């Protein structure tokens, strides 16, 4: 009998897939919240497979607390910065994630929605209208900006970055991109130009971030790099919160060094504006669009992710290599 523990309820298709397997004992946390480390260890002790979410920090202490029988950590996320890969490797524990075209499209669609919300001042205008301030058409009311002819700067050309470029091509924008590797096929397809980060920031009207969280990308957007951007530019983040130094972003927005920002992720999630000594708040700024880490929040996508996580666990417990094994 293999024991599997899921740290929080996920879409039912993934749970059902695991429960249909003979010899699988599946338990799901009844709490709709992030478990404290002690809770997680206590509830998952003795299991053969752990299915955590990106909000669960799985380090060596957690792994040891669960026990030596733990064979796989089937992360319910594309990213895996919440898992100590080195500790897992040392203990012979497999780690898997849930990439796929569904999540790529969902995150790309959300990114495009945020770009449009910034350009057309959608959130600000919606708030204005709901508060009964609208008195009639006016020539200078909520002037935004068009996307046609503007420059889109893509930082990180993985699957999501490419999909964003594909979707945004309908607006006939110029495309600059930066990645650790040059992609000549992408350049030909979208008439894009490969540049360094300083040049990208200097010339882009919309900067969209699609890099994984690593030591090299933490605070990639900071006071210095924000200072390279146009005063009319916007920065959009659907990657990981710490890629942007939140305090520096707030100061740049307040000083009008850039025009605005759209954030789906935050440096100290779920907190926003943590440790900001000047007491200014991103939440109070009309030039900022905020969403609660929902870029992949589509029924189809989240259900598929659940099934992928389940299949990774089934493969591992069957003595096979998980389809989405993370290489450490």
Which residues are part of the catalytic machinery? Answer: 240, 269, 293
Cα–Cα distance measured from residue 156 to residue 288, given in angstroms and rounded to the nearest whole number: 22
Residue 290 token pair: 């905020």
Q: Which residues contact 72 (CB under 8 A, 6 or more apart)?
A: 48, 49, 50, 93, 94, 95, 96, 312, 313, 316, 317, 322
Q: Are 27 and 3 in contact (CB under 8 A)?
A: yes
Look at strands 94-96 and 234-237 and give their pairing: unpaired
Tokens 């935050």 map to which residue? Answer: 266
Helix H, strand E, coil C: the string for the chain is CEEEEECCCCCHHHHHHHHCCCCEEEEECCCCCCCCHHHHHHHHCCCCEEECECCCCECHHHHHHHCCCCCEEECECCCCCCECHHHHHHCCCEEECCCCHHHHHHHHHHHHHHHHHHHHCHHHHHHHHHCCCCCCCCCCCCCCCCCCCCEEEEECCCHHHHHHHHHHHHHCCEEEEECCCCCHHHHHHHCCEECCHHHHHHHCCEEEECCCCCCCCCCCECHHHHCCCCCCCEEEECCCHHHECHHHHHHHHHCCCCCEEEECCCCECCECCCCCCCCCCHHHCCCEEECCCCCCCCHHHHHHHHHHHHHHHHHHHCCCCCCCECCC
């Amino acid at each position: 009998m293999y024991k599997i523990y899921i740290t929080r309820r996920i879409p039912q298709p993934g749970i059902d897939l695991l429960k249909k397997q003979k010899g699988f004992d599946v338990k799901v946390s009844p709490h709709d919240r992030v478990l404290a480390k002690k809770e997680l260890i206590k509830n998952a002790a003795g299991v053969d497979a752990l299915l955590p979410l990106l909000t669960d920090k799985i380090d060596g202490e957690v792994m040891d607390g669960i026990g030596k029988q733990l064979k796989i950590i089937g992360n319910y996320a594309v990213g895996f910065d919440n898992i100590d890969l080195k500790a897992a490797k040392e203990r012979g524990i497999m780690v898997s994630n849930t990439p796929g075209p569904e999540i790529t499209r969902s995150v790309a669609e959300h990114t495009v929605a945020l770009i449009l919300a910034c350009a057309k001042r959608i959130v600000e205008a919606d708030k204005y209208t709901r508060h009964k301030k609208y008195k009639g058409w006016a020539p200078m009311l909520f002037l935004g900006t068009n996307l046609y002819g503007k420059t889109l700067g893509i930082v990180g050309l993985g699957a999501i970055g490419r999909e964003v470029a594909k979707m945004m091509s309908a607006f006939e924008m110029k495309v600059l991109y930066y990645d650790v590797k040059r992609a000549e096929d992408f350049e030909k397809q979208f008439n894009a130009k490969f540049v360094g980060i300083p040049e990208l920031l200097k010339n882009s009207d919309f900067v969209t971030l699609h890099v994984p969280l690593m030591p090299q990308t933490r605070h990639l957007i900071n006071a210095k790099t924000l200072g390279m951007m146009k005063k009319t530019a916007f920065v959009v983040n659907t990657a990981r919160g710490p890629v942007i130094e939140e305090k520096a972003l707030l100061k740049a927005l307040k000083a009008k060094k850039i025009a605005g920002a759209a954030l789906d992720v935050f440096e100290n999630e779920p907190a926003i504006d943590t440790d900001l000594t000047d007491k200014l708040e991103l939440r109070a700024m009309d030039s900022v669009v905020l969403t609660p880490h929902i870029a992949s929040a589509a029924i189809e996508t989240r259900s598929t992710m659940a099934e992928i996580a389940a299949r990774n666990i089934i493969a591992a417990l069957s003595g096979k290599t998980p389809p989405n094994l993370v290489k450490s």
